[in-house]
């Protein structure tokens, strides 16, 4: 939820227009049936029931999802026609242009730092598994994972303990019985396992993508807005959890990254040919 909020802020910062605001309203409105269907489906909400029940309820939720997509497309087309016919208000939102992007960037950084600072000390007993308590239970032992990762980095600052080495460090240093394999933070796990070398490579990647995104934002704000918002959601979430390692989450991000790089490359002036 925190990452999603940061993504919405970036979306509005990249394209602060009335049209973008209406698009967000359409997305929020058409997602309500899907949320209701998921809440009423025990198989989707908590993985309950036998295989047949889960398949049946999953198919129903999939049908609702497709219906929401069609409804969103139709509603978007209707809104666009009315905007053209009635002259709906367009242009930029009455937001301060100067410093808006910087303010959003600061808020995203705060969103990552605050959970680290206010993490409760001592072992916690968080909710595990596919259950609804995870939406209301903020208990976590992430501070324990991060502490072990930071100590591993302090002991091996240059090259780290090796790829996949956090799991071994955790087994040796842990003071809670959580069977974790990851530090639940991409930068901290990179620091622990790959040291300064890995952090430098990660920083170069992030800075390179950010520069490309800035170039595309100048040339084509409408194209950059969605990609930048999605990358922000992924980046904030990757700083606080481990599932960036799942291909289903990261492959779309890599595709969006590639599209930004390709568009930025076309926007940059090429070398002048000489005779």
Over 60: is that where the pLDDT of 205 sits? yes
Q: Which is higher by pLDDT, 23 or 183?
A: 183
Query: Residue 8 in contact with residue 229, Cβ under 8 Å?
Result: yes
Q: Which is higher by pLDDT, 85 or 151?
A: 151
> Residue 203: which pLDDT band, with cuts at 50, 70 and 90?
very high
Which runs of consecutive H residues, i.e. helices, occur in 41-185?
A: 42-46, 51-86, 100-117, 142-155, 166-173
Q: Which is higher by pLDDT, 133 or 62?
A: 62
Cα–Cα distance, 226 to 233 (Å, whole number) = 11
Look at residue 97 in the predicted model and tell me its pLDDT.
Answer: 57
The pLDDT of 37-61, averaged and rounded, is 88
Question: Measured at the alpha carbon of residue 244, what is the angle toward residues 152 and 264, in degrees to the nearest 5?
Answer: 110
Look at residue 134 in the predicted model and tell me its pLDDT.
Answer: 47
Look at residue 137 in the predicted model and tell me its pLDDT.
Answer: 45
Please write the tens of the pLDDT for every residue from 220-243. 888 888 899 999 999 999 998 998
Domain, as residue range, for 211:
141-266
Cα–Cα distance, 58 to 47 (Å, whole number) = 10
> Residue 114: which pLDDT band, with cuts at 50, 70 and 90?
low
The pLDDT of 117-131, averaged and rounded, is 51
Written as six digits, the tokens of 98 are: 């100067």
Within a domain: 242: yes
CA 65 to chain centre: 21
Over 70: is that where the pLDDT of 115 sits? no
> Residue 138: which pLDDT band, with cuts at 50, 70 and 90?
very low
The pLDDT of 2-20, averaged and rounded, is 81
Over 90: is that where the pLDDT of 188 sits? yes
b/e 106-127 (16+ beta carbons within 10 angstroms → b): eebeebbeebeeebeeeebeee
Please write the tens of the pLDDT for every residue from 60-104. 999 999 999 999 999 988 888 887 776 666 666 666 655 556 666
Q: What is the pTM of this model?
A: 0.74
Look at residue 168 in the predicted model and tell me its pLDDT.
Answer: 93
Look at residue 271 in the predicted model and tell me its pLDDT.
Answer: 55
Share of the chain above pLDDT 70, in %: 77
Over 80: is that where the pLDDT of 135 sits? no
Over 60: is that where the pLDDT of 132 sits? no
Within a domain: 157: yes
Within a domain: 71: no
Within a domain: 8: no
The pLDDT of 198-223, averaged and rounded, is 92
Q: HSE-up of 44 (CA within 13 Å, CB side)?
A: 18
Within a domain: 221: yes
Cα–Cα distance, 35 to 73 (Å, whole number) = 18
b/e 144-181 (16+ beta carbons within 10 angstroms → b): bbbbbbeebbeebeeebbeeebbeebbeeebeeebebe
Within a domain: 273: no
Identify the helix (H) or strand (E) that includes residue 229.
Answer: helix 221-238
Domain count, the chain: 1
Closest CA to 181 of 166, 193, 161, 195: 166
Mean pLDDT of the chain, nearest integer: 82
Range picked from 82-86, 120-124, 129-133, 241-245 for highest mean pLDDT = 241-245
Cα–Cα distance, 182 to 246 (Å, whole number) = 12
Lowest mean pLDDT, pick from 6-20, 40-54, 78-92, 168-182:
78-92
Within a domain: 159: yes
Within a domain: 225: yes
């Amino acid at each position: 939820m925190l990452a999603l909020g940061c993504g919405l802020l970036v979306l509005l910062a990249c394209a602060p227009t009335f049209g973008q605001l209406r698009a967000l309203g359409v997305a929020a409105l058409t997602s309500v049936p899907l949320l209701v269907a998921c809440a009423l489906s025990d198989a989707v909400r908590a993985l309950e029931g036998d295989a047949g029940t889960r398949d049946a309820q999953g198919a129903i939720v999939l049908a609702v999802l497709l219906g929401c997509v069609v409804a969103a497309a139709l509603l978007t087309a209707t809104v666009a026609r009315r905007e053209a016919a009635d002259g709906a208000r367009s242009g930029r939102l009455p937001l301060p242009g100067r410093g808006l992007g910087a303010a959003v960037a600061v808020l995203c950084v705060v969103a990552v730092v605050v959970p680290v600072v206010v993490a409760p000390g001592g072992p916690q007993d968080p909710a595990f598994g596919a259950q609804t308590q995870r939406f209301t239970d903020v208990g976590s032992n992430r501070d324990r994972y991060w502490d072990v990762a930071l100590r591993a980095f302090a002991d091996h600052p240059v090259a780290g303990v090796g790829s996949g080495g956090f799991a071994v460090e955790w087994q040796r240093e842990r003071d809670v019985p959580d069977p974790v394999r990851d530090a639940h933070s991409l930068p901290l796990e990179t620091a622990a396992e790959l040291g300064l070398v890995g952090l430098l490579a990660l920083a170069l990647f992030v800075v390179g993508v950010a520069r490309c995104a800035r170039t595309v934002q100048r040339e084509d704000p409408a194209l950059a807005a969605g990609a930048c918002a999605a990358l922000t959601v992924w980046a904030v979430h990757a700083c606080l959890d481990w599932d960036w390692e799942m291909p289903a989450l990261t492959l779309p991000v890599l595709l969006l990254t590639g599209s930004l790089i390709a568009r930025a490359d076309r926007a940059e002036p090429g070398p002048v040919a000489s005779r």
